[in-house]
Amino acid sequence: MPEAVPDTSVEARRGRRWRRLPPEVSILMVLVGLALSFELLGWIFVKQSFLFNEQRLIVMILQVSVIGIIAVGVTQVIIAGGIDLSSGSVVALTAMVAASLAQSSDAVRPVYPTLTDLPVVVPVAAGLAVGALAGLVNGALIARTSIPPFIATLGVMVSARGVARWYTRGQPVSMLTDSFAAIGSAAVPVLIFLGTALLFHLALRYTRYGKFTYAIGANPQAARVSGIRVGPHLVLVYTIAGTLSGLAGVVTAARAVSGQAGMGMMYELDAIAAAVIGGASLSGGIGRITGTVIGTLILGVVTSGFTFLRIDAYYQEIVKGAIIVAAVIADQYRQRSRARAA
Amino acid sequence: MGSDPSAAADGCLLEVINVSKAFPGVMALENVSLRLKCGTVHAVVGENGAGKSTLMNIIAGLHAPDRGELHLRGRPLRLRSPREALESGIAMIHQELNLMPSMSVAENIWIGREPVNACGVISHRELHRRTRQLLGSLSIDIDPQAPLRSLSIAYRQMVEIAKAISYDSQLLIMDEPTSALTERDAERLFAIILGLKAQGKGILYISHRIEELFSVADEISVLRDGRHVGTDTPANLTRERIIRMMVGRELAQIVPAAPARAGAVRLAVRELTLEPHFRDVSFELHAGEILGIAGLVGSGRSKLAEALFGVSPAGSGRILIEGSEVRIGSPAAAIGRGLAFLTEDRRESGCFLTLSVLENLAVAVLGRDFVRLGFVRGRALTRACEAMSRLLAVRTPDQHERIENLSGGNQQKVLIGRWLLTSPRTLILDEPTRGIDVGAKAEIYQLIARLVERGAAVLMISSELPEILAMSHRIMVMHEGRITGILPRAQADQVRIMNLAAQ
């Protein structure tokens, strides 16, 4: 009988269970493998442990937490079948805006002389609002005009950087209040990163917002026919990504205790890399926040490991590039073997 | 074994000998043998998952067999890629057409082999001349310079066939060539096939439309669960016998006759117009009624369905649902009015291929139910989806299997389930049984009949006249964007419908 096709054989079930392992497992193994290799190389070349050094681990995560916050937003955009190139510039713009509202009264030339020593909530809210606005522009351009996301966010990327420079005519903003600087001190950025990751992990898995985001990325046409209002939903997704870039901007300004228009250069690419290493598919419909967190950590381990081994930064970039490409190749291979097994 | 001179002598083009192929967990083919003679059409039928596609993929060089061999004109054939198959004269015409919509007909046919002049620049004049000649030899009337996207599916298929012939192929594999064609377009295809046979080419022909095999095939082979069940000439077979061989059981009745128990007017359409697709369309659909829409591809049937559901809203005219006039500007609005729409193209606008069965089932109902404060009520939703897939007898290992791993018929059941979860009062079904096997078809017919018995109103578009005739209470025929007639079932027959559809 057709129901009894060999589909239910033991072999098939085992094969299915193997394929059913969360896709993060393979990428997690890469992370562990990298960390262990650095540990081994550490003992051989610099006579030190790589992993058993609390300080180093904290710095390592701290370095990538800004990228991680952005990547949480970018992952959602990628799942929805889009791309966001504007994140790095939005970091710069929001860092400038937040810093300008976080100056202390002992600043020599404050941007707003009457607005110094404001409570910390003001610069934070301003940074998030400007980020949200940038995301809204991205989303509205994409939903309203149906230009490709690549182009829309490329335009915003260039313009936002311009606005960041224009804002203070290129002058950096410094002398920030202690309460604002506290956002960037110690492990606070790490907590913000993990907190946003958890929040949106839950949102993607357990809310209608999440289900619709996957559906739109998997097949926008079918999503529309199924009654999803695709345009407004995309605006929401890009606005969330923009807000998270704004949050990253606030953290960046707080860590540097200043705002500079050159901040956040190429962060968008690191964030996209983290998402893609973590298994997000640029064709949409596939991706997870847990994968992105692991992808972010991989970037962190590579950077920190190379510094630890005192290897030139040039090699770092070469290896980083190779890891990104290898991750996508591995992912495609997995997808294909999965499809073939069907 | 080895090269068998007698095989070549009696005009045997291809011999498949004891071929087996396993995929992880599934024995896709087991000791299958087949002979295709020159100048004949050999049809291969079987339910989805019977191994037809695997067999064709092996012959086309996409997969290598685990055991067994292929002989082409008596010589052993070992293929490592589709490229090698093409070079040996074997071409496959895929179910999902592999053409580039933005390029012209000529460019699509000759891609990678464009005639170039002395400087290496493509000579378009030569390209078009060759294309015209090729299309002429097949009596296909298409402008070589037309962009492919401007052609209907039927014509695109002919381009695909012309492309296969352009490789000087001796063996053509056609995977469900008529699944997207109307009866008339299918007739045209059969004429082309007849021409190919006269040129001595051999054709392997896969189809779910059993009726057409009797006019097109010289031999019919049936596969079931990866095994070869039998081969015979159409003269020695009947439709019932083939189906019995395919499913291994008797099917009482393929198409159930739904009782005519029409109630109040559910949907009324007045002078609906969407230029240039259809104009002045007026009809009424009653509760408990199936209104079939027949017509050729391009008659505006599918556009009408899309307009009713707000996918491409109508330009003018009125839509009344249960007596009150409504404006349907988007699918979301249509769903709010109790409508559901099964689109004709499962892959294009139906399935979310990368998502699970559960997610595919749930997507439409999540717009209005199973959500509290934005959070999906996971357990209740899972229960509802499980119940739905049990009700529709969806064959899947579990709810978390990706829908792309299901057979066409099961995918279609999931899509129907997606809409049933929204408890629709009016269903628009565009080609509900396209490209799915006989068993699944029968289940879908029964399902539709059950829905109608419970008072749903169904608008059913189909290119298969027997299906429309058996299922519908009334049949509306469209031609070039206008309604040319609405016939009660008692007065409808194939000839009458075709007359109205083709005028």
Residues A209-219 pLDDT 10s: 999 999 999 99
Handedness of CA B243, B244, B249, B250 (dihedral sign): positive
Q: For strand B171-175 and strand B202-206, is the pairing parallel, antiparallel, or unpaired?
A: parallel
* Greatest mean pLDDT range, A311-315, B291-295, B344-348: B291-295
* Contact between chains at B225 and A219 (C-beta distance less than 8 A): no
Least confident piece of the model among A221-230, B315-324, B458-467: B458-467
Question: What is the tally of structural domains in chain A?
Answer: 1
- Cα A29 off chain centre by: 21
Is the pLDDT confidence value at B436 over 80? Answer: no
Rounded CA Rg of chain B: 24
Chain B: closest CA distance from residue A137 (Å): 24
* A237 within domain boundaries: yes
What's the pLDDT at A186?
78
How does the average pLDDT of chain A come out, rounded? 88
Q: Would you state the structure tokens that stand for residue B406, as one six-digit string?
A: 């299901």
* Contact between chains at A225 and B400 (C-beta distance less than 8 A): no
* Contact between chains at A207 and B376 (C-beta distance less than 8 A): yes
Q: Which residues pair with B122 in a beta bridge?
A: B116
* Greatest mean pLDDT range, A148-152, B194-198, B450-454: A148-152
What is the rounded (10 degree) CA torsion for B233, B238, B244, B246?
40
Identity of the residue numbered A339: A
Q: Which residues pair with B20 in a beta bridge?
A: B67
Q: Which is more confident, B52 or A271?
A: A271
CA distance B455 to B433: 22
A224 touches chain B (CB under 8 A): yes
What's the pLDDT at B380?
93
Q: Would you state the structure tokens that stand for residue A92, as one six-digit string?
A: 């710069």
* DSSP letter assigned to residue A143: H
CA distance B473 to B288: 10
B160 to B91, B109, B148, B153, B347: CA distances (angstroms)? 10, 7, 11, 10, 19
* A7 within domain boundaries: no
Q: What are phi and psi of A103, to 5 degrees?
A: -75, 145
CA distance B448 to B444: 6
* A216 within domain boundaries: yes
B223, B330, B352: which to substitute to probe chain A, counting the most A Cβ within 10 Å? B352
| Mean predicted confidence (pLDDT) in B16-39 | 86
B348 touches chain A (CB under 8 A): yes
B229 touches chain A (CB under 8 A): no
CA distance B472 to B449: 10
* Contact between chains at B25 and A5 (C-beta distance less than 8 A): no
CATH code of the domain in which A60 resides: 1.10.3470
Q: Which residues pair with B286 in a beta bridge?
A: B265
* Contact between chains at A227 and B331 (C-beta distance less than 8 A): yes
Please report the residues numbered 235 through 274 in chain B whose beta carbons come closer than 8 angstroms to any beta carbon of chain A. 247-249
Chain A: closest CA distance from residue B312 (Å): 10
Instruction: Provide the residue range defining the domain that includes A335.
Output: 22-341
Q: What are phi and psi of A116, to 5 degrees?
A: -110, 165
* A89 within domain boundaries: yes
Is the pLDDT confidence value at B284 over 60? Answer: yes
- Cα B452 off chain centre by: 24
* A278 within domain boundaries: yes
Chain A: closest CA distance from residue B363 (Å): 7
A226, A281, A336: which to substitute to probe chain B, counting the most B Cβ within 10 Å? A226
**pLDDT digit string, tens, across residues B225-266:** 888 999 999 999 888 888 778 776 544 455 555 565 668 899
* Contact between chains at B367 and A2 (C-beta distance less than 8 A): no
CA distance B328 to B334: 6
What's the pLDDT at B151?
84
**pLDDT digit string, tens, across residues A209-264:** 999 999 999 999 999 999 999 999 999 999 999 999 999 999 999 999 999 999 99
A56 touches chain B (CB under 8 A): no
> Of A103, A222, A172, A215, which Cα lies nearest the Cα of B355?
A215
* Contact between chains at B354 and A281 (C-beta distance less than 8 A): yes
| pTM summary value | 0.78
Spell out where B207-277 has E strands. Answer: 219-224, 227-232, 265-274
* Contact between chains at A218 and B352 (C-beta distance less than 8 A): yes
What's the pLDDT at B251?
46
* Contact between chains at B225 and A16 (C-beta distance less than 8 A): no
Chain B: closest CA distance from residue A198 (Å): 15
Q: How confident is the model at residue B82 (pLDDT cuts 50, 70, 90)?
A: confident
- Chain B residues with CB under 8 Å of A232 CB are none
* Greatest mean pLDDT range, A6-15, A23-32, A169-178, B292-301: A169-178
B96 touches chain A (CB under 8 A): no
What's the pLDDT at B368?
84
CA distance B105 to B273: 31
* A50 within domain boundaries: yes
User: B50: nearest CA in chain A?
Assistant: A2
A225 touches chain B (CB under 8 A): yes
Chain A: closest CA distance from residue B447 (Å): 19
Angle at B260 between CA B255 and CA B263, to 5 degrees: 135
| Mean predicted confidence (pLDDT) in B468-476 | 90
Is the pLDDT confidence value at B275 over 80? Answer: yes
How does the average pLDDT of chain B come out, rounded? 86
What's the pLDDT at A5?
38
Q: Which is more confident, A154 or B163?
A: A154
Identity of the residue numbered A196: T
B168 touches chain A (CB under 8 A): no
Is the pLDDT confidence value at A319 over 50? Answer: yes
B109 to A13, A328, B129, B152, B344: CA distances (angstroms)? 43, 32, 12, 16, 27
B199 touches chain A (CB under 8 A): no
- Chain A residues with CB under 8 Å of B308 CB are none
User: A335: nearest CA in chain B?
Assistant: B354
Percent of chain A at pLDDT exceeding 90: 63
* Contact between chains at A227 and B364 (C-beta distance less than 8 A): yes
Of B47, B248, B371, the CB nearest to A208: B371
CA distance A118 to A115: 7
B273: left (phi over 0), alpha (psi -120 to 50) or beta: beta
What's the pLDDT at A336?
66
Q: Is A292 in contact with A275 (CB distance < 8 Å)?
A: yes
* A12 within domain boundaries: no
Chain B: closest CA distance from residue A273 (Å): 21
Q: Which is more confident, B459 or B498?
A: B459
* Contact between chains at A11 and B330 (C-beta distance less than 8 A): no
What is the rounded (10 degree) CA torsion for B425, B430, B431, B432?
-30
A239 to A167, A232, B450: CA distances (angstroms)? 22, 10, 45
* DSSP letter assigned to residue B116: B
User: A229: nearest CA in chain B?
Assistant: B332
CA distance A287 to A290: 9
* Contact between chains at B332 and A214 (C-beta distance less than 8 A): no
**pLDDT digit string, tens, across residues B353-403:** 999 999 999 999 998 889 888 899 989 999 999 999 998 888 888 898 889
A12 touches chain B (CB under 8 A): yes
**pLDDT digit string, tens, across residues A166-182:** 999 989 999 899 999 99
Q: How confident is the model at residue B10 (pLDDT cuts 50, 70, 90)?
A: low
A336 touches chain B (CB under 8 A): no
Q: Which residues pair with B326 in a beta bridge?
A: B319
* Contact between chains at B351 and A13 (C-beta distance less than 8 A): no
* Contact between chains at A339 and B404 (C-beta distance less than 8 A): yes
What is the rounded (10 degree) CA torsion for B34, B39, B40, B42?
40
CB atoms within 10 A of CB B22: 16
A306 touches chain B (CB under 8 A): no
Is the pLDDT confidence value at B2 over 90? Answer: no
* A13 within domain boundaries: no
What's the pLDDT at A173?
93
